[in-house]
Structure 1
Amino acid sequence: MAKRLILCNCSGSQSIEPKVFEGRENLRCSRVHSELCGRELDIAAKEISSGEAIIACQQEAQKFRELAEELSVAPPEFVDIRDRAGWTESPEPGPKMAALVAEAQVAQPPVKTFDISSEGQCLILGRSDVAIAAAERLSEALAVTLLLDPGEELPLDRRFETLRGRLKTVTGAFGQFDVALDAVELLNPAGRGGFATTAPRDAAKTRCDIILDLSGNAPLFPAPEKRDGYLRADPGSQKAVADAVFEAAQLIGTFEKTLFLTLEQHLCAHSRAGQTGCSNCLDICPTGAILPAGDHVDIDPLVCAGCGACSSLCPSGAIKYDAPPVATVNTRVRTLAETFLKAGGENPVLLVHDDSHGAEMIALSARFGRGLPGNVLPLSVGALTGFGHAEMLAALASGFCAVHILAAPRTERDPIRREIALAQAMGGATRLFLLDVDTPDAMSDALYDAETTPQQVEPVLLMGDRRQVARMAAKSLLGPQDAPVPLPENAPYGAVLVYTDACTLCLSCVSLCPSGALVDNPDKPELRFQEDACLQCGLCANICPEKAISLQPRFDPSDDVMKLQTLNEEEPFCCIECGAPFGVKSTVEKIVEKLAGKHSMFADSDTGRLIQMCDDCRVKAQYHSTDNPFASADRPKVRTTDDYFSKRRDH
């Protein structure tokens, strides 16, 4: 069914040319209205009733949703072409508006969620002068337990539980916090006067749904603002405490938690045979949601905050961001570039921002400042750190001249800088930037002042997983190269170097390579390598008993990386009995030289010959030798009942 784009120039404050939206399949345009949210609300009601409306206004989305509810119809779709395009100093916002409308029509897959139940069991930490008042207010909504430090005075309020003790450890997240305590003194309310307590006891355990931390001490978790159910406030700020108390009171019932990531454990290159390889996700996770689990890692969905850094740094693609999938983000990027260029725009620049801080910065800049330049197309994503080198390269290969990533106050900068450095080395030099500003005006000024170099590469259609997309995009951006391009340390692309003088072709690296980049030759002693499959996880170098392997981060855009290349090979040793090749000639000869006639087990010539035989001939030789280890005594005669009776008669 064709959608109908409902246009409004917001009391004449922006210029809209309906013709820039024409020609798109499944899209029709209304005339340009002036005040859909006010005196023309009846027109909006009629359009919404049709069930096909896309309202070109985001500011009054709530009003239009309420109107749809009154009309008993499904709420309309929305796209913001005013703050992000119409309110600008640039004279021709039409191509940008067309791109934003086209991007808004990209189908979004449903977000996967699971339910978290909270019964309202709340643990409050802090000094008595602040925590008691908070417990009194929350006791009307939640089941409150107040934990005071040893020696603090106990309140006489029985609307909530009170105990004294020392917090030892806390694990878990909203709905499932596990708390361990030492020196616990339980309250005894019986008797006259102040409440007494039991004798202190260690190793107490309890569970709660919510933790309200008013202690003013160091946070209980890394990245505390990302831990659901953990509310922390400065005890010296009455407003901060009141806000935290109010928020805690709402955390009772059943809530939806987004499943941000998917994990394919068989692709994980974390470790093999007790040797650690890749630990990118473990090192970068700000919340500690990722933990080792044997040869792979596991992700705790309760703790995961969805920052996406692990997915952008995962070399194998074992961890994928799924809210939405990376393929959807790349489709949105390609749609923006294609539509903008087709509508007559030039030198498009992509501005990647989060859906809260970044969206507000753009709105404020548009309303009170210069707005965004006409060639800067904003892309809202849920996780900035999830927009990695593959997505950056894909944007450039899709036609964008530059990519700016607008950091939010709580954005982890290090993963973004790392991915920008990698993408710059793979063809994005001078075109990728981290925009770290603190005001809307500074954002606008930086974008207006940025020099934009026209893109010389024809846009390419990118398909496949993140590694395939990154390779295709980088190959397009770099063009023909005389030699591989060096990459920063810890890059997930590169070569394996083998010192042949030290390598004995034991092939332990082959058996443990998680991606199959290292393979053997079943017909002869040979170590082969496919560079395109190498993750640079380091397992081969860690497991090599001779320390004959090293890694070289690099990117080779040629097709040679798809071919198997020989890293080391030797002549096989032929069995002295049957002539079948086995083992490595140099290795067998070294063993014979060191053992034959010198070691007690190989002192005579016959046993010394065993070293030079294949497995089958060695077994045969052992079987026919005078001291055959497979030989045994004659089988004893079976004793019968008659044997026992005859023995008794003889006695």
Structure 2
Amino acid sequence: MPLDPKALGRALDEDLSLHTTLCRRDAPAFQKACRSRDDLVVACTQESRLFGELSAQTEGAVDLDVRPIRFVNIRETGGWGREAQHATPKMAALLAAARLPEPEPVPTVTYNSEGRLLIIGPLERAEALAALVSDALDVTLLPTGGSGQQTRLYPVLPGQLHRLQGWLGAFAVTVSASNPIDLDLCTRCNACVAACPEGAIGLDYQVDLSRCQSHRACVKACEAVGAINFQRDAQEREETFDLVLDLRAVPGFTQHALPQGYVHLPASADAMAQVRAVTQLRDLVGEFEKPRFFTYKQKLCAHGRNQSMGCNACVDVCSASAISSDLKRNQIVVNPHLCVGCGTCTTVCPTGAISYAYPRASEQGVKLRTLLATYAKAGGQDAALLLHSQEAGSALVNDLGRLAQLDKTVRGVPARVIPLPLWHTSSTGIDLWLTAFAYGARQVWVLMTGEEAPQYHEALREQMAVAESIVQALGYSGRHFKLIEVRDARDLPLLDTELGEAPAQGVTKAASFAAQPEKRATLDLALDHLLQDSAGRASRTKDAAIALPAASPFGSLAINRDACTLCLSCVSACPASALQDNAERPQLRFIEKNCVQCGLCATTCPENAITLQPRLLLSDERRQPRVLNEAQPYQCVRCGKPFGTLKGIEVMLAKLSGHAMFQGEALERLKMCGDCRVVDIYSNPGETRISDL
């Protein structure tokens, strides 16, 4: 691996000495660094365990809780490959990012497991697997057929599974006990099996009622034990467990991301899958914590108003079924125990009401700016960011680097491509992609490995289409945003080809703004920079607005003025204050910059007069209120004070004129303001009707 310590030192503003075998021959140099309280970064991930052991064995070494060691891979990501001689700027960028402080701590979610395990499946297989974990776990069986041992080894939960829900430490299992044989009383003597003339009782000790001819020979055979009773009413019974091992072909949960503590192991699973399942279950006893990956601000949420639904993007995309709708409170509800921290909900949220908390968007922005600024300072050009997952994605990138070391026909990770591992590839969206582009990245690529839910691919494609439409319309040629879909090492040639794509056109001057905690604020900063940077481009669109795909978080509204009565129900429904009224006159005003295209105004409008128009307005008009519709005021027939719109009152009079309760004086009172209506009612008390009140 070619290394230039002087060039790296210049980029990092430090004097660097080169050590090539810190884990072996040059270990004393590493041990010396362990004694320092300065930040310690090791540019090797393969021997991270050995470095940790060396630090623990070094006398006078700083405790890792006080000064942790950070690891970064510069070998497979750049040092091994056809362009390794030109990878110094990328190495400097990766080293600089590795020195950044850890994300600020966030609240945590706690799981408590006492090891109560429920195994669901054929009795024989359930008992075999129970034997592998019963020394560490408290096992209960829920048989679904099969033949088990005659000896009673484990408690049995009798009945048919009716409902399964929950998570690690809090699974609720509901069964419907309709089987005439009480498995808690059954001694497994098999007398009933032998006595049944129809063979309706199997070795799972369940009665097949469709075959039973009511001879009741089994009842007589079991008379001493009394385990069989055909008169027993079916009853629901609920039990709680900490862990669930499901051996059925179809899992008990339908979502892509299964709850923590639930393991699905069908009969088709291989031996390694069985070993992993058993090992995983044995380790899930005790107290566990994970970050609370999200924050939610209900006042920004466009999900609902007045129990009408608008934006449902986060509910639809969640692969863990962790997000549900609560229209009674006009909000969504996120279950933190089911949330797996993928962040796709934050990617598709147009308002930023739900945001990624660990790491925060502002912390991700610092890392992006550090990577790209250091890369440029070290002389790098045409940077492309490759966002990938910490496990499967990192493994593919590393495999590509190793393959390039062995096969010279493989390019490897190009010198201009900077890999950036994320907790989940869906946790960043259009705000950070456009920010990275504004910081100087020519392209932003997301590596998907097949571990993601299918709907995540479509969600990211939609958001990338919006981002690409914006930069293309602003005059930046080439393809800037794309998904790279590679499932395993067999697809490494495809990954090698995808990473070799030619650079697209980027910004003339890199931005210096900081990514903000609020999604819309970051988007505004990125768009403002791109509008300024692209102002002089000959290829920039001359239109005042950029047409965008339907998934756009920006846009305008089209109002059917013939249908609109200016009832202003849309104003009260708008969560972003994009729609406003005018206290001076009947007007509907609109600030396009605030619109998130949630659709609440359209669903709320009683006249169906509103249509969404996804677009990005380029002029300063997007920040200013503009009138979408206005009408002539209707004046009270008694005092002359305006109290509504002429069209609105005329529509109301037309709809109610044929109603029996709105005839004569009652209909006339609808033409009065509220004050005059009250005066008129009390002036003519004999004519007061329920409709007047």
> What TM-score do the two structures reach when normalised by structure 2?
0.83
Secondary structure of the corresponding residue to residue 297 of structure 1: strand
Q: Quick one: distance in 2 between partners of 1:474 and 1:103?
A: 25
Q: After superposition, where does 1:297-336 map in structure 2 within 5 Å?
A: 297-336=332-371
Q: CA deviation at 1:277?
A: 0.8
AA aligned opposite 1:83: E
Alignment pair present for 1:125 and 2:120: yes
Q: 577, 581, 590: which one pairs with 1:520?
A: 581
Q: 410, 421, 427: which one pairs with 2:451?
A: 410
Q: Quick one: distance in 1 between partners of 2:75 and 2:283?
A: 35
Q: Quick one: distance in 2 between partners of 1:340 and 1:155?
A: 66
Q: 661, 664, 679: which one pairs with 1:620?
A: 679
Among all aligned residue pairs of Structure 1 and Structure 2, give the percentage whose two residues are the same amino acid. 33
Q: 39, 48, 55: which one pairs with 2:25?
A: 39
AA aligned opposite 1:316: T
Q: 1:16 to 1:504 in 2, by over 3 A?
A: same
Q: 1:396 to 1:198 in 2, by over 3 A?
A: farther
Q: CA deviation at 1:547?
A: 1.0
Q: Quick one: distance in 2 between partners of 1:264 and 1:198?
A: 56
Q: 53, 59, 67: which one pairs with 2:54?
A: 67
Q: 1:574 to 1:159 in 2, by over 3 A?
A: same
Q: CA deviation at 1:309?
A: 0.9
Q: 1:36 to 1:165 in 2, by over 3 A?
A: same
Deviates more, 1:390-399 or 1:71-80: 71-80
Q: 1:597 to 1:228 in 2, by over 3 A?
A: closer
Secondary structure of the corresponding residue to residue 120 of structure 2: strand
> Is the CA contact 1:496–1:550 (under 8 Å) kept in the aligned structure 2?
yes
Q: 490, 515, 520: which one pairs with 1:467?
A: 520
Alignment pair present for 1:230 and 2:226: no
Alignment pair present for 1:274 and 2:307: yes
> Is the CA contact 1:139–1:160 (under 8 Å) kept in the aligned structure 2?
no
Q: 1:37 to 1:271 in 2, by over 3 A?
A: same
Deviates more, 1:38-47 or 1:153-162: 153-162
Deviates more, 1:180-189 or 1:506-515: 180-189
Deviates more, 1:442-451 or 1:329-338: 442-451
> Is the CA contact 1:235–1:241 (under 8 Å) kept in the aligned structure 2?
no
Q: Quick one: distance in 1 between partners of 2:301 and 2:319?
A: 20
CA displacement, residues 23-65 of structure 1 (integer Å, 9 cap, x when unaligned)? 646xx44410121100221221111111223222222221121
Q: 1:46 to 1:558 in 2, by over 3 A?
A: same
Q: CA deviation at 1:552?
A: 0.9
Q: Quick one: distance in 2 between partners of 1:595 and 1:33?
A: 89
Q: Quick one: distance in 1 between partners of 2:349 and 2:277?
A: 36
Structure 1, unmatched stretches of 5+, are 1-12, 631-651
Q: 111, 114, 128: which one pairs with 1:116?
A: 111
Q: What is aligned with 2:436?
A: 395
CA displacement, residues 503-548 of structure 1 (integer Å, 9 cap, x when unaligned)? 1111111111121111111121111111111121111111111111
CA displacement, residues 241-282 of structure 1 (integer Å, 9 cap, x when unaligned)? 232122211111111122111111222111122211111011
Q: 1:157 to 1:73 in 2, by over 3 A?
A: farther
Q: What is aligned with 2:286?
A: 253
Q: After superposition, where does 1:478-489 map in structure 2 within 5 Å?
A: 479=534, 481-489=542-550
Q: After superposition, where does 1:531-550 map in structure 2 within 5 Å?
A: 531-550=592-611
Q: Quick one: distance in 1 between partners of 2:654 and 2:484?
A: 66
Q: Quick one: distance in 1 between partners of 2:276 and 2:656?
A: 79
Q: What is aligned with 1:14?
A: 2
Q: CA deviation at 1:371?
A: 2.9
AA aligned opposite 2:375: F
AA aligned opposite 2:521: Q
Q: CA deviation at 1:593?
A: 7.3
Q: 1:188 to 1:345 in 2, by over 3 A?
A: closer
Q: CA deviation at 1:333?
A: 1.3
CA displacement, residues 560-589 of structure 1 (integer Å, 9 cap, x when unaligned)? 111111111112123344332211123335
Q: 250, 254, 257: which one pairs with 1:218?
A: 250
Alignment pair present for 1:433 and 2:482: yes
Q: 366, 374, 378: which one pairs with 1:343?
A: 378
Q: CA deviation at 1:624?
A: 2.7
Deviates more, 1:206-215 or 1:483-492: 483-492
Q: What is aligned with 1:9?
A: none
AA aligned opposite 1:15: L
Secondary structure of the corresponding residue to residue 234 of structure 1: coil
Secondary structure of the corresponding residue to residue 396 of structure 1: helix
> What TM-score do the two structures reach when normalised by structure 1?
0.88
Instruction: Provide the alpha-carbon RMSD of the alignment.
Output: 2.6
> Is the CA contact 1:125–1:147 (under 8 Å) kept in the aligned structure 2?
yes
Q: Quick one: distance in 2 between partners of 1:542 and 1:590?
A: 20
Q: CA deviation at 1:148?
A: 0.6
Q: Which structure shows the bigger proportion of residues in strand conformation? A: 1
Which structure would you say has the larger RCO, counting Cα contacts within 8 Å and 6 or more residues apart?
2
